[in-house]
C-alpha cells in the first residue's frame, strides 16, 4: 500500500500535571476525541515523568484535532498541545514489543499469546492475555493492586461467583477464575471490549465460566458474593449505592481506580451506606506522600 492510500490517524498529544489529567481527558472527549490514553510513569508507554501525565487523544479527522488544540489553548494558555499524525496501521501493534510475561501476583503470571509459555509460578497459573484496545494489560497499578487482593484472599474467593464491573480486557475476572472462583460475570459500558473479553476467555479455556456483556451496575439485578470495580473515583462515587446493592450478605467488594488523596473520602462514602460493610484493608502503590499520583485498592466485606 502506498503512503498516500494508507489510513492517517490524527492524535492530540499534551503533557499536563497529574492533578488535572482526568479533567482534561474528559474535556478532550467533549471536544470530540474518540479515545484518550493517559501515559504516566506506571503505564506501558511511559509519560514524561514525575507528576506529569501525557494525554494522547485520537480524533477521526485532522480538522477536529486542530479545533481541539485551539480550544485547549483557550482553556489554559500554558498548555502546549501538539498534533501527531500516524500513517498506516502498524502502530496499533507497536505496544506488543514491550508486552512480555510478568508476575501480576504471587500466583498469576500474565503472558501475551505471541510468546512461548512461561513457567507458571509455584502453586499458580499463566493467564494468557491480549488486551487489544481494551484497558487491562495488568501493568497499571490499579489492576495489579486488585489482583493482589484477590490472590491474598483466594481462600474466601474459591468456589464463589464474581462480578467484574468495568472489566476492560477481562483481566480481573480471569484472575479470579484462575484463583478458584467458580464463575464470573464481566461487564463494561463500552460495547467494544466484550469481544476482547470473549477472545481472552477462549484463550484461557474459560469460555464456559465467563459471561461478558455490555452493562453497568443499573442493569444487574442479582447479588454476587464477590464484586470488583476498577473504575475511576469520579464514577465510583455516584455508583456507590448501586454497587453495594450487588454485594451478597457476607460478600466482598474491592474497589480501585482511586488515588491516595481520594482514599478516605471513598472509604467514608461506602461505609456510610446502610448496607453496613466493613473496611478490610487497603493496598497502596507509589509514593503515598505524592497523594495525587499514588494509587490504592480498597477491600470491603460484610
Ligand atoms: C480502568 S479500566 C479497568 C479495566 C480492568 N478491569 C482492569 O482492572 O485493568 C475501567 C473500565 O471501566 C469501564 N467503565 C467506565 N465507566 C463504567 C460504568 N459506569 N459501568 C461499567 N463500566 C464502566 C471502562 O470502559 C473501562 O473498560
Note the pLDDT tens digit of each residue in 56-109.
999 989 999 999 999 999 999 999 999 998 877 666 666 666 678 999 999 999
Nearest to 111 by CA among 138, 129, 93: 129
Atom of ligand 1 nearest to the CA of 137: 9
Report the C-alpha gap between 206 and 202 in whole angstroms.
6
Q: How confident is the model at residue 50 (pLDDT cuts 50, 70, 90)?
A: low
* 280 three-class SS: strand
Using a pLDDT cut of 90, give the percent of the chain over it. 70
Return the best residue to mutate from 38, 197, 200, 231 for the ligand 1 pocket (most ligand atoms within 8 A of CB): 231
Mean pLDDT of 200-205: 97
Please check the confidence at residue 49 and state whether its pLDDT lies above 70: no
Fold topology of 99-301: Rossmann fold (3.40.50)
Q: What is the pLDDT of residue 98?
A: 66
Q: What is the pLDDT of residue 22?
A: 87
Nearest CA to ligand 1 atom 11: 166
Using a pLDDT cut of 70, give the percent of the chain over it. 91
Q: What is the DSSP letter of 49?
A: B
- Binding-site residue ranges for S-adenosyl-L-methionine: 143, 166, 188, 230
Q: What distances in angstroms separate CA 293 from CA 135, 260, 288, one per listed residue? A: 19, 7, 8
Q: What distances in angstroms separate CA 24 from CA 27, 29, 31, one per listed residue? A: 5, 9, 10
CB atoms within 10 A of CB 31: 19
Cell digits of residue 112: 501475551
Mean pLDDT of 216-240: 96
Atom of ligand 1 nearest to the CA of 228: 6
Q: What is the pLDDT of residue 1?
A: 47
Return the best residue to mutate from 133, 134, 189, 219 for the ligand 1 pocket (most ligand atoms within 8 A of CB): 189
Report the C-alpha gap between 38 and 192 in whole angstroms.
19
- In the chain, what is the straight-line distance between the N-terminal and C-terminal CA atoms, in Å? 59
Please check the confidence at residue 18 and state whether its pLDDT lies above 90: no
Cell digits of residue 131: 488486551
Distance 77 CA to ligand 1 centre (A): 32
Q: What is the mean pLDDT of the chain?
A: 90
Where in the sequence of the chain do the CATH 3.30.70.120 domains occur? 8-94
Cell digits of residue 300: 470491603
Helices (H), 179-282: 193-203, 233-245, 260-271
Q: What is the pLDDT of residue 283?
A: 97
pLDDT in tens, 264-296: 999 999 999 999 999 999 999 977 777 777 899
Q: How confident is the model at residue 166 (pLDDT cuts 50, 70, 90)?
A: very high
* 171 three-class SS: helix
ipTM of the complex: 0.99
Nearest CA to ligand 1 atom 4: 168
Report the C-alpha gap between 6 and 9 in whole angstroms.
10
Q: Which residue has the higher pLDDT, 21 or 163?
A: 163
- Binding-site residue ranges: 143, 166, 188, 230
Distance 71 CA to ligand 1 centre (A): 27
Please check the confidence at residue 207 and state whether its pLDDT lies above 90: yes
pLDDT in tens, 106-119: 999 999 888 889 99
Distance 131 CA to ligand 1 centre (A): 13
| CATH number 3.30.70.120 is the correct assignment for the domain at 8-94 | yes
Where in the sequence of the chain do the CATH 3.40.50.150 domains occur? 99-301
Ligand 1 neighbours by CB, cut-off 6 Å: 135-136, 143, 146, 165-168, 171-172, 187-190, 193, 216, 230-231, 235, 257
Report the C-alpha gap between 203 and 214 in whole angstroms.
20
The most confident of the ranges 4-18, 52-66, 141-155 is: 141-155
Please check the confidence at residue 171 and state whether its pLDDT lies above 90: yes
Nearest CA to ligand 1 atom 8: 143
SS (H, E, C) 94-160: HHHHHCCCEEEECCEEEECCCCCCCCCCCCCEEEECCCCCCCCCCCCHHHHHHHHHHHHCHHHHCCC
Amino acid at each position: 500500500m502506498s503512503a498516500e492510500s494508507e489510513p492517517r490517524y490524527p492524535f492530540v498529544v499534551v503533557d499536563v500535571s497529574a492533578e488535572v489529567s482526568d479533567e482534561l481527558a474528559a474535556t478532550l472527549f467533549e471536544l470530540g476525541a474518540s479515545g484518550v490514553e493517559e501515559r504516566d510513569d506506571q503505564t506501558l508507554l511511559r509519560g514524561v515523568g514525575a507528576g506529569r501525565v501525557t494525554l494522547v487523544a485520537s480524533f477521526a479527522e485532522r480538522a477536529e484535532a486542530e479545533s481541539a488544540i485551539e480550544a485547549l489553548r483557550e482553556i489554559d494558555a500554558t498548555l502546549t498541545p501538539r498534533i501527531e499524525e500516524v500513517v498506516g496501521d502498524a502502530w496499533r501493534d507497536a505496544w506488543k514489543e514491550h508486552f512480555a510475561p510478568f508476575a501480576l501476583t504471587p500466583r498469576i503470571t500474565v503472558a501475551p499469546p505471541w510468546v512461548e509459555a512461561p513457567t507458571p509460578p509455584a502453586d499458580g497459573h499463566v493467564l494468557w492475555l491480549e488486551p487489544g484496545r481494551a484497558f487491562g494489560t495488568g501493568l497499571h497499578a490499579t489492576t495489579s493492586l486488585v489482583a493482589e487482593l484477590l490472590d491474598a484472599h483466594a481462600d474466601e474467593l474459591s468456589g464463589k461467583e464474581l462480578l467484574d464491573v468495568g472489566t476492560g480486557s477481562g483481566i480481573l475476572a480471569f484472575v479470579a477464575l484462575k484463583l478458584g472462583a467458580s464463575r464470573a460475570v464481566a461487564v463494561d459500558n463500552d460495547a467494544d471490549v466484550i469481544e476482547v473479553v470473549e477472545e481472552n476467555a477462549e484463550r484461557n479455556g474459560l469460555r464456559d465460566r465467563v459471561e461478558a456483556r455490555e452493562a453497568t451496575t443499573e442493569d444487574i439485578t442479582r447479588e454476587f458474593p464477590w464484586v470488583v470495580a476498577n473504575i475511576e473515583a469520579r464514577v465510583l462515587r455516584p455508583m456507590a449505592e448501586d454497587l453495594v446493592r450487588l454485594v451478597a450478605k457476607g460478600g466482598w467488594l474491592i474497589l480501585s481506580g482511586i488515588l491516595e488523596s481520594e482514599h478516605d473520602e471513598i472509604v467514608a462514602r461506602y461505609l456510610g451506606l446502610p448496607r453496613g460493610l466493613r473496611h478490610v484493608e487497603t493496598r497502596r502503590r507509589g509514593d503515598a506522600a505524592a497523594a495525587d499520583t499514588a494509587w490504592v485498592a480498597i477491600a470491603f466485606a460484610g
